[in-house]
Chains A and B, each alone.
Chain A
């Protein structure tokens, strides 16, 4: 069964500090992996998307890494800001031919709180 496990479930850090969120998956075969940021009460917004051949991808202060051999990904946030407080969701896609939600497996997310 395809699964996506995220850790930690929740994390509290001080403003300005760095943090790393983890995503381990069992989806196989694998097409791509996305990280979403979801503010409280809002819909998720895509941060990065990584394919099998990519190891690192950055989006401002967000850097995602992918190790397809060990089926692990991480999202590193540098110099955290209060606006980074949100849930971060890892989503892994299998290479099915359909679009939309076909072949997607969602993690339960990491709830990140940035304290001033």
Chain B
């Protein structure tokens, strides 16, 4: 079974721009969670989607948004990028009612 895939793997953007990251979960997994990881803060929960609905949301500004499609694929968008948004963005999927999270390889975003 294929694992969680994320595209692109690396991205360089300029301050003020916006970016869209994509995540394809493991087949059969309907829950997709997004995390931001920085060296100082560790893994920070952004939001979670289940059956195209946002189920949980972390403490991030409204510039961070996401959505999930009917095939469970998910995208997250960051608008008006700031230097502090430079991080590894991880996506994780899980089966319904399971908290066993399977992580993708991440997208490394660098904002200059």
Contacts and interface: CB of A to CB of B under 8 A. Distances in A.
Interface residues of A, number: 25
Contact of A99 (B43, B45, B98, B108): B98
Given A43-B4, A43-B103, A107-B42, A99 B90 contact: no
B104 A100 contact: no
Interface string A18-54: 0000000000000110101000011111100100000
Interface stretch (B11-19, B48-56, B75-83): B48-56
A41 B87 CA distance: 10
A101 B45 contact: yes
Nearest to A99: B97
B21 interface: no
B24 interface: no
A62 interface: no
A100 B58 CA distance: 13
Interface string B42-76: 11010010100001100000000000000000000
Interface of A: 31-32, 34, 36, 41-46, 49, 89, 93, 97-104, 106-109
Would you list the 10 A-B pairs with minimal beta carbon distance, nearest first? A43-B103, A108-B42, A100-B31, A101-B33, A99-B97, A101-B48, A106-B43, A44-B103, A100-B48, A99-B98
Given A43-B4, A46-B101, 17 more contacts: A41-B108, A42-B106, A89-B42, A98-B55, A98-B56, A98-B97, A99-B50, A99-B95, A99-B96, A100-B33, A100-B48, A100-B56, A100-B98, A101-B99, A104-B45, A104-B101, A108-B43
Interface of B: 4, 31-33, 41-43, 45, 48, 50, 55-56, 88, 90, 92, 94-106, 108
